Structure formats: C-alpha cells, structure tokens
C-alpha cells in the first residue's frame, strides 16, 4: 500500500473517530441533560400542583378557623343556642362559603350538624366521611387536643380536601367544644381550578384502579418521591396522595410534551451533519496540500529508487533543488548512489583476488573442525593400546610353556592370562569403535573436499534426508569434550517433517559450527553444561518454500554491540588466540550462496543466543547411491 493511501486512510479514520467521539459525547452527555431538564420541568409542574393543593388547604383552614372561633357556634355546641342552625347554618351560608361539605362535631365525636354538596338541580346530597361518617385517627386526635388539622378524606362522593378547626369561645380561648370541618370535593371543576393555578393539565385517578402502577406509586409515596414514565412523545409524572393515616386515596398525573429533548436531538443531529461536512472539506484540503507538499515529491523519490533497483543504473540522479527535508533526502540519495557506484567498481576489482583466499580459508576451517575429533580419537586409541599389558602377557605365556612345578604359581599365571585376554578383547572392541569413528570423520573430510570442489562447478549436492537425521549427523562430528558439555533438545514438531532434498553436507557443517561455538563459548564462560535447542519448520517466504532451522542456547550470550559484526570475516566472540573468526563467516557465505540466510539474536551476556537459518527447499530426489545404480 502506498503512502498516499495510508495517509488518506489514517486521516479518514481520524476524522471518523472525531465524529464518533462528538456523537458519543452528545448522546451520553448533552442529550441526557435535555432529558433531565424535561424531568426537572415535570417535577416542577407537580410541585406547583402540590403547592396549589396546599394553598387550597390553607384557605379552607382559615375559613374553618373563622367559623370555629364564632361565639354563637360555641354556644350552640353547649346547647345554649338552639336557633343557631336555622339562623346561621343555612343553604345560603353554605353556598357563600363555596364549599362542598361542612360538619359541626361535638367533643364526644357526635355529628351535631353537616351539609353535603348540591346536585345540578340544587338538591343537597348526602356525603359520608370514610363511607361511615367515622373520623380517622388523625382527625380524632385533633378533636381531642383542640388543634387545627387539614388533609384528604375519602368519602362516598370522592376525595375531599378538608380542613378542621377547634370550636372556641369567640375570643380564641378554650377549652375547645368540638371541631368544624370544611372541604371541597376534588371534582372536575376543582381539578381544573388547581390545574389553572399550577399552569398544567391535571388528571386524577382514584386509588385501586391500576394495581401494577400503584405498587411503584406506593413505594414512591413512602419515599416522598414521584414516578416518572417516559414515551417518545411525553414525560408523565405521577404522585400518590394519602390521608392522615397514610392510606393512598388518589393519584395526580401530568403529561409533559417532550419538546425539549426532541429539539435537543435535532440540534445534535444537525451539529453531527455539519461536523461531517466540515470533516470532509478539511480532509480534502489536507490531502490536496499533503499531495503537493509531501506525498507527490515522496512518490517521485520512491519511483526513482524503484527504477534504479529495476535497471541497476547507478548513474541516474534525482536532481532535486528543494530546500526542505525531502530535498535533503533527495540530495543524500544521489550522494549515496555516487558512493555506491564507486564502491561497486572497487569491489569488482578486488573480488577476484579475494575469492580464492576466501574459499581456501573456509576449507581450512572446516577441515580443522573435522580434524579435532579425529586427532582426539587417534590419541585415545594410542593411549588405549599402550595400556594393554602385552609384555606381561608374553612373559606369563612363556613361563606356562616351560612349566612350573608350583601349582599355586601356575594357577595365578593362568588367572592373569585369562584377565589379560578379557581386557585385550575389550580393548579390541573399543579400538574397533574408534576406528569406525576415524573412518566416518575421514569420510567427512573427504566430503568437505568434494563439496568444495562441487562449489567450483555447480550447486551443492542435495540428498533426501529428514531434518532430524541431518541434525544428528552434524552433532556426531563434534569432539567428545565439546559434545559432553551440550544438552541437546529437539522440538517434537521437527520429527513431523519428513525427508526433504537438502544440501546435507553443507547444512551438517553449519550445525557443527553452531554447536561447537556454543560449547566453546560455554567453556570460556566456565559453564558446566549448556542447553542446545533445535526447532525445524517449513515456511513460505515470498512464495518460495524454505526450511527454517532455529538453534537456541542458554549459554554465555552475545553483547548487542557485537551482533552486527558476528558474521564478519576474522571476527570472533571467543579468544582470538585459538579462533580464526572464519566459522560464522563461512556459514553466512555458504547459506547465501544456496539462496538462504542466517540471522543471530541475543538478549545480552548471560542470556543465551538464537540463530535462525533459512534454506530453499527442492523436490526430494533419490539418494546418490540409487541414482548411481
């Protein structure tokens, strides 16, 4: 993907993220504020209704207190003014007070007089408090204590907003002789009047008509709160009202249109659209400016580099005259091409001379690696042969041949001959084993020489071999003193890879070099043992099937500053007195000639090292012996 496409996608994603963030903020922060504003408005409307109802009770309380502090009424309750009813408690007085109910109750709870509402024909209707004209506990307490009281009372005609005042002697003195109750029914006319005072459209529902909703209302009544119900178009708020004993009587409800949140949603929608349009304009402007200032010149530099890579023409130059960073990059690239062309000419002149010496150094190094276990085996064979008691055996046989009259001496000689023969047989068996090893190591040296000869003519010979077998053969060529220091681990997944056509001799020498380096490095670091782990996998690299061999050790590790020089000729992390620095250099050159590569990684001293080898795979071919046959 080109830089222009990446920048376009990045900027588009950035603006999309900004729009999404703005939308999320509006949805989670701004719109909820509008909704909460609507809820607060609904609560305020309900509070106005409560205040209007409170004012209604205050007005009734003042009116009841005025009647209760009337001397003529006080005398009536004492039985001293029997004509009071005909003179003062008339229908005209009742209608003048604009109330629906009035009652005069004696101190013992008897109703001395009461008057109900009028129907449309002007006839007085009977009205019973609580259905049986019995006062609730709160009203009885006010009657007994001579205190004023107000609240809602259930009647057989509906809910009554009532206030009660004690009957006094006209001078505000007691003791109270009873209670005057005045009230208005919460009928349609009264609800309309309360709604006008609160500036809302008020509806009422008697308690007991909606059992599902009343459970929530009862909880809200206990907590002194309201119940909110929201739809797409309205916010409904309800509150339950109870009598003095706490028993719910009715529910007031208000429907508030959701104009605030709808307008807020429209504002959010329009602002999001405007932001999207602004983002598109800004994106187009940024892409245009970036294309003219950065992306266009950068594409020209890239195309120039690709043309050089395709044509191998190191003489081509960009010739940029810009004074910004891209101009500096172009001039630096031209200077680099000039130095590269000069270096190529020098490299061509020197490559022929160094090629022969390079090849000879690699051969000598590999032969040296093969000679080390060979010399160790020969030295061990010499020491083992010297340890055989040949002279003593000959003397014993000579003495037995001439005879010895001493039976004890003869028995000792025979036992010695038997022991010497057994030791000689054991030595012969060990000698045979070491000779086989010497033959194998000699064959390796011959294979090295043959491989080097083939390098001069064609590609290295590939044999059908499983990677696990290749690793085992490479490790067999290490001197025992080094091999005993290694703990070999091969990943189980390696055994799942079947035989492949591999340059077995070359790869075996690479494995030998890496294993021997790990052992020598561990010895130099005074490590008794080092773990060597092998992983093998078949991977695809640029459409080409490759064998990946990963060799990991937990030994002395490699300092980070030495990693870039690890495969240079003559460089070694071990003692320069005993190492030529050709092993890894030869491995890198050999693998590169095969079309592969080798890379090293280490986390630092004491943390081990990791080598990753890639070698191209070919279709498995028959073994050399089969093709020769």
Distance, CA of 565 to CA of 560 (rounded, Å): 10
Distances (CA, A) of 415 to 66, 397, 563: 148, 11, 63
Q: What is the pLDDT of residue 224?
A: 64
pLDDT digits (tens, 9 = 90+) for 263-278: 888 888 888 888 889 8
Global pTM exceeds 0.85: no
The torsion region of residue 497 among left (phi > 0), alpha (psi -120 to 50) and beta comes to beta
Q: What is the pLDDT of residue 346?
A: 63
**Residues 492-515, mean pLDDT to the nearest whole number:** 84
% residues pLDDT > 70 (the chain): 83
Residue 285 has pLDDT above 80, yes or no: yes
Residue 135 has pLDDT above 50, yes or no: yes
Q: What is the pLDDT of residue 437?
A: 75
Other beta carbons less than 10 A from residue 576's beta carbon: 10
Token pair 């729009």: residue: 19
| pLDDT bucket at 628, cuts 50 / 70 / 90 | very low
The mean-pLDDT minimum among 101-105, 273-277, 504-508, 569-573 falls in 569-573
Dihedral angle, C-alpha 436, 440, 446, 447, nearest 10 °: 160
| pLDDT bucket at 353, cuts 50 / 70 / 90 | very low
Q: Which helix (H) or strand (E) holds 539?
A: strand 530-541
Which residues lie below 8 Å from residue 47, measured CB to CB, with a gap of 6+? none
Token pair 């943390």: residue: 607
Q: What is the DSSP letter of 558?
A: -
Q: What is the pLDDT of residue 629?
A: 28
Residue 620 has pLDDT above 70, yes or no: no
Token pair 């003014």: residue: 81
pLDDT digits (tens, 9 = 90+) for 482-493: 888 888 898 888
Q: Per residue in 17-49, is it b (16+ CB within 10 Å) or e — as a string? A: eebeebbeebeeeebeebbeebbeebbebbebb
Supply angle C-alpha 537, 541, 546, rounded to 5. Answer: 40
Distance, CA of 206 to CA of 214 (rounded, Å): 11
Q: What is the pLDDT of residue 362?
A: 63
pLDDT digits (tens, 9 = 90+) for 431-474: 777 777 777 777 777 776 666 656 554 556 677 778 888 888 88
Q: What is the pLDDT of residue 443?
A: 74
Residue 109 has pLDDT above 70, yes or no: yes
Distance, CA of 98 to CA of 116 (rounded, Å): 12
Which residues lie below 8 Å from residue 4, measured CB to CB, with a gap of 6+? 291, 295, 299
Q: What is the pLDDT of residue 358?
A: 58
Token pair 């020089």: residue: 565
Q: Is the dihedral of CA 244, 246, 252, 257 positive or negative?
A: positive
Q: Is the dihedral of CA 332, 336, 337, 339 positive or negative?
A: positive
Are the CB atoms for 154 and 131 separated by under 8 Å?
yes
**Residues 60-70, mean pLDDT to the nearest whole number:** 92
**C-alpha of 90 from chain center:** 84
pLDDT digits (tens, 9 = 90+) for 26-51: 888 888 888 888 889 888 998 999 99
Distance, CA of 600 to CA of 571 (rounded, Å): 14
Average pLDDT, the chain: 81
| pLDDT bucket at 403, cuts 50 / 70 / 90 | low
Residue 204 has pLDDT above 80, yes or no: yes
Range picked from 211-215, 313-317, 397-401 for highest mean pLDDT: 397-401
End-to-end CA distance of the chain: 54
Select the more confidently predicted residue: 34 or 346: 34
Select the more confidently predicted residue: 137 or 349: 137
Residue 625 has pLDDT above 50, yes or no: no
pLDDT digits (tens, 9 = 90+) for 3-17: 778 888 888 899 889
Q: What is the pLDDT of residue 559?
A: 86
């Amino acid at each position: 993907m080109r830089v222009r496409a990446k920048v376009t996608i990045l900027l588009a994603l950035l603006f999309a993220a900004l729009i999404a963030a703005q939308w999320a903020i509006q949805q989670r922060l701004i719109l909820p504020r509008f909704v909460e504003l609507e809820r607060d408005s609904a609560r305020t409307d309900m509070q106005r209704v409560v205040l209007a109802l409170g004012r209604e009770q205050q007005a009734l309380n003042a009116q009841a207190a005025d009647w209760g502090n009337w001397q003529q009424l006080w005398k009536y309750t004492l039985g001293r003014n029997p004509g009071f009813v005909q003179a003062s408690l008339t229908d005209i007085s009742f209608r003048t007070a604009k109330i629906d109910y009035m009652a005069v109750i004696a101190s013992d709870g008897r109703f001395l007089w009461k008057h109900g509402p009028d129907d449309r024909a002007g006839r007085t209707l009977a009205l019973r408090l609580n259905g049986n004209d019995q006062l609730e506990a709160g009203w009885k307490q006010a009657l007994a204590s001579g205190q004023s009281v107000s609240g809602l009372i259930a009647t057989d005609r509906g809910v009554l907003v009532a206030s009660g005042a004690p009957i006094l002697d006209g001078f505000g003195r007691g003791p109270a002789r009873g209670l005057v109750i005045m009230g208005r029914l919460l009928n349609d006319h009264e609800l309309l009047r309360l709604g006008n005072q609160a500036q809302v459209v008020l509806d009422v529902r008697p308690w007991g008509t909606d059992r599902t909703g009343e459970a929530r209302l009862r909880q809200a009544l206990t907590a002194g709160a309201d119940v909110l119900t929201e739809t797409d178009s309205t916010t409904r708020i309800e509150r339950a009202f109870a009598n003095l004993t706490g028993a719910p009587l009715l529910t007031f409800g208000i429907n508030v249109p959701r104009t605030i949140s709808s307008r807020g949603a429209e504002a959010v929608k329009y602002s999001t659209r405007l932001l999207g349009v602004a983002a598109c304009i800004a994106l187009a402007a940024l892409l245009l400016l970036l294309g003219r200032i950065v992306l266009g010149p950068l594409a020209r530099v890239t195309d120039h580099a690709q043309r050089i890579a395709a044509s191998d023409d190191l003489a081509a130059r960009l010739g940029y005259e810009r004074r910004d960073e891209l101009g500096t990059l172009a001039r630096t690239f031209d200077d680099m091409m000039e130095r590269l062309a000069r270096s190529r000419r020098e490299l061509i002149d020197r490559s022929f001379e160094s090629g022969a010496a390079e090849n000879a150094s690699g051969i000598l190094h590999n032969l040296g690696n093969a000679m080390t276990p060979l010399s160790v085996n020969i030295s061990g064979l010499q020491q083992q042969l010297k340890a055989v008691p040949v002279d003593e055996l000959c003397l014993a046989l000579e003495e037995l041949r001439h005879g010895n009259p001493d039976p004890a001496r003869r028995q000792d000689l025979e036992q010695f001959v038997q022991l010497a023969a057994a030791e000689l047989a054991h030595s012969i068996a060990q000698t045979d084993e070491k000779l086989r090893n010497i033959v194998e190591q000699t064959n390796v040296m011959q294979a090295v020489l043959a491989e080097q000869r083939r390098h001069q003519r064609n590609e290295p010979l590939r044999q059908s071999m499983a990677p696990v077998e290749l690793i085992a053969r490479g490790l067999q060529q290490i001197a025992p003193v080094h091999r005993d220091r290694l703990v070999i681990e091969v990943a189980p997944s390696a055994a799942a890879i079947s035989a492949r056509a591999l340059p077995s001799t070359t790869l075996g020498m690479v494995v030998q070099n890496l294993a021997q380096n790990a052992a020598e490095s561990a010895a130099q670091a005074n490590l008794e043992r080092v773990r060597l782990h092998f992983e093998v996998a078949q991977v695809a690299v640029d459409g080409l099937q490759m064998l990946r061999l990963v060799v990991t050790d937990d030994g002395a590790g490699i300092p980070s500053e030495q990693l870039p020089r690890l495969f240079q000729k003559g460089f070694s992390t071990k003692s320069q007195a005993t190492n030529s620095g050709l092993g890894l250099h030869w491995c890198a050159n050999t693998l590169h000639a095969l079309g592969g590569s080798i890379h090293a990684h280490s986390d630092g001293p004491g943390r081990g090292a990791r080598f990753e080898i890639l070698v191209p795979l070919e279709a498995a071919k028959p073994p050399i012996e089969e093709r020769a046959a």
